[in-house]
Structures are given as structure tokens and as C-alpha cells.
Amino acid sequence: MKKIEAIIRTSKFEDVYEALTEIGIPFMSTYEVKGFGLEHSSSQTYRGATYNVGFIPRTKIELVVTEDHAKDVVSTILRVANTGKVGDGKIFIMDVESVIRIRNGEVGELAL
């Protein structure tokens, strides 16, 4: 199993959510996050105060899926969340050791 964490433009969240539902992924966790990428050094002064303009709200989605589904999920996010401009975000992929459904103790892919 793989855990996929993707930080995407908030404006792309609805499209990504719909596209993942269409490929049969009916679960995910989402978070509103603030962060910066390579542009973090840019700052702007407004009325005497300096603001880091690279510190932008984004949406983070997290899903744990089978290895087979992981490829589909990643390619779907890449296709839908890409605008080609800087700041499109990033996808992190991790191995997952175990998943347990709390209600009935099911373990592994059965619990997804």
C-alpha cells in the first residue's frame, strides 16, 4: 500500500476530487495548509510591513491506496492539478506498513 500526499492549488481541489471519484477512489483526507516552495525568498513591502508573498494557502489531500491504484491516483493528480505555472504543488509517495479498520479489526488492503 502507498500513502499519497499531494499539495495542490486550492482552486484545483474540486476538479481533483471529482477526477479521483471517477477513477474509483471514494475516500481521502483534506487539509487547508499554508506553505512555500522555491519562491519563499520573495517578499513585498506594503505600508511599511514586509509580507512573505510566497506563503500561500494550499489544499493538501492524503490517501492510502493499493500499489495498483497509486499509479492511477498520481497520474490523475498530475493531469488535473497541472497549470504549467510555478506553484502547482507537489506529490509525496510513501510506503504504508499497515492499515487497520477500527470498527472490525480488518487489516491491510481489506481495511482500505
Ligand X SMILES: Nc1ncnc2c1ncn2[C@@H]1O[C@H](COP(=O)(O)OP(=O)(O)OP(=O)(O)O)[C@@H](O)[C@H]1O
Where along the sequence are the contacts to ligand X (CB under 6 A)? 7, 33, 35-39, 56, 58, 86-90
Contacted entry of Mg ion, ligand X, none for residue 17, CB cut-off 5 to 8 Å set by kind: none
Shortest Å, Cβ 96 to ligand X: 19
What does the alpha-carbon distance between residue 65 and residue 111 come to, in Å, rounded to a whole number? Answer: 10
What is the closest distance, in whole angstroms, from the C-beta atom of residue 37 to Mg ion in the complex? Answer: 3
Position among 43, 52, 87, 107 found at the interface with Mg ion (CB under 5 A): 87
Q: Does 34 bind Mg ion (CB under 5 A)?
A: no
Q: Does 102 contact Mg ion by CB under 5 A?
A: no
C-alpha 69/C-alpha 2 separation (Å) is 9
Residues with Cβ within 8 Å of residue 18, at least 6 apart in sequence = none
